[in-house]
């Protein structure tokens, strides 16, 4: 794992003094720049500064108990695994939900899904750290094992600079960003020219040197998407899960799925403006 060298926000006991106020078990992430992204095209392009408006985000992933309240109040269809004991415990994160289900729950709660940029800032803080807890590649802090998710209040070491929990493991999470998938690719249809930042140039040089002097293929600009290929709606997913692979744990990593599908390892949390 390559450390970006951009500094890490305080963690552990010192971070308690830096946590923002809470609102209904949410935390407020202040407005300002944050170093986000990575040089791979499997996420936000970076590392580079992104200006992010203030927002609030759920401290924990939405639970089965909370989703059940939503179903009872609205008549919305239950989650796909609502009758399966391995996945329907009240304090487990709800899974088996479509992107539209997650949107509907957040709207019912007076909230919305976070954007990818918001989610990543909530996970990484301002200084571009690799994991919610910093740059230490100790993946034992996150729940990345087993065959089912655990309580959203578990894995106390999986905590971000703002006090958000479970962003590196347990279940992956839908975010609001949607695209059109063509030929098995879900990303912006056009490849935009981007000016490399000093952080990007330094990291590219480091990765190239470690790859025998050749730029790793995953850093190369991908081909344009053929617009004549029929498309299907897709949405981005952030964070690793009990079902993921180790390399997916860095907070810059992006996954995706079609919006009309669900998985036993994908849940969500909600956000609000301001």
Question: pLDDT tens digits for 149-184?
Answer: 999 999 999 999 999 999 999 999 999 999 999 988
Strands (DSSP E) along the chain, which ranges? Answer: 26-29, 32-36, 48-52, 55-58, 172-181, 232-238, 254-258, 266-267, 271-273
Rounded distance between C-alpha atoms, residue 61 and residue 110, angstroms: 16
Rounded distance between C-alpha atoms, residue 183 and residue 97, angstroms: 24
pTM: predicted TM-score of the whole model, two decimal places: 0.88
* Burial of 24 from C-beta contacts in 10 A (0-12 / 13-18 / 19+): exposed
Rounded distance between C-alpha atoms, residue 98 and residue 259, angstroms: 6
pLDDT by residue (tens digit) across 28-43? 999 999 999 998 877 8
Res 217: pLDDT? 86
Res 197: pLDDT? 83
* Burial of 103 from C-beta contacts in 10 A (0-12 / 13-18 / 19+): buried
Strands, sheet with 266-267, edge to edge from the N-terminal-most edge strand: 254-258, 232-238, 172-181, 266-267
Rounded distance between C-alpha atoms, residue 38 and residue 19, angstroms: 25
Res 205: pLDDT? 92
Rounded distance between C-alpha atoms, residue 98 and residue 262, angstroms: 5
Check: CB of residue 194 under 8 Å from CB of residue 45.
Answer: yes
Report the CATH fold assignment for 12-192+204-273: 3.90.1580
Res 193: pLDDT? 56
Residue 184, φ and ψ in degrees, nearest 5: 75, 20
Tens of each residue's pLDDT in the chain, 274 residues: 333 323 333 333 333 334 443 457 999 999 999 999 998 877 898 898 999 999 999 999 999 999 999 999 999 999 999 999 999 999 999 999 999 999 999 999 999 999 999 999 999 999 999 999 999 999 999 999 989 999 999 999 999 999 999 999 999 999 999 999 998 889 876 555 556 788 888 888 999 999 999 988 888 877 778 888 899 999 999 999 999 999 999 999 999 999 999 999 999 999 999 9
Helices of type H across the chain: 64-74, 99-108, 116-124, 198-210
Rounded distance between C-alpha atoms, residue 239 and residue 58, angstroms: 15
Nearest Cα neighbor of 117 from 254, 232, 15 is 254
Nearest Cα neighbor of 106 from 52, 70, 68, 82 is 70
Residue 235 bridge partners (DSSP): 178, 257
Instruction: Break the chain into its structural domains and give their ranges.
Output: 12-192+204-273
């Amino acid at each position: 794992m390559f450390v970006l060298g951009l500094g890490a926000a305080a963690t552990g006991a010192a971070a308690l003094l830096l946590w923002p106020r809470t609102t209904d078990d949410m935390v407020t992430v202040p407005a300002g720049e944050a170093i986000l992204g990575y040089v791979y095209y499997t996420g936000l392009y970076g590392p580079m500064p992104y200006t992010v408006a203030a927002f609030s985000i759920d401290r924990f992933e939405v639970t089965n108990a909370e989703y059940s309240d939503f179903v009872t109040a609205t008549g919305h269809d239950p989650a796909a695994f609502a009758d399966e004991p391995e996945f329907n415990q009240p304090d487990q994160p709800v899974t088996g939900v479509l992107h539209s289900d997650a949107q509907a729950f957040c709207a019912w709660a007076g909230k919305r899904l976070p954007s990818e940029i918001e989610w990543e800032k909530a996970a990484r803080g301002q200084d571009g750290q690799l994991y919610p807890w910093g740059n230490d590649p100790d993946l034992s802090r996150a729940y990345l094992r087993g065959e089912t998710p655990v309580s959203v209040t578990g894995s106390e070491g999986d905590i971000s600079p703002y006090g958000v929990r479970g962003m590196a493991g347990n279940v992956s999470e839908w975010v609001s960003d949607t695209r059109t998938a063509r030929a098995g690719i879900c990303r912006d249809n056009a490849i935009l020219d981007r000016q490399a930042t000093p952080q990007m140039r330094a990291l590219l040089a480091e990765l190239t040197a470690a790859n025998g002097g050749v730029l790793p293929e995953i850093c190369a600009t991908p081909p344009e998407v053929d617009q004549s290929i029929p498309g299907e709606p897709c949405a981005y997913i952030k964070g690793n899960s009990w079902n993921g692979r180790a390399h997916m744990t860095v907070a810059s990593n992006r996954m995706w799925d079609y919006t009309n599908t669900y998985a036993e390892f994908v849940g969500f949390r909600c956000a609000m403006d301001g």
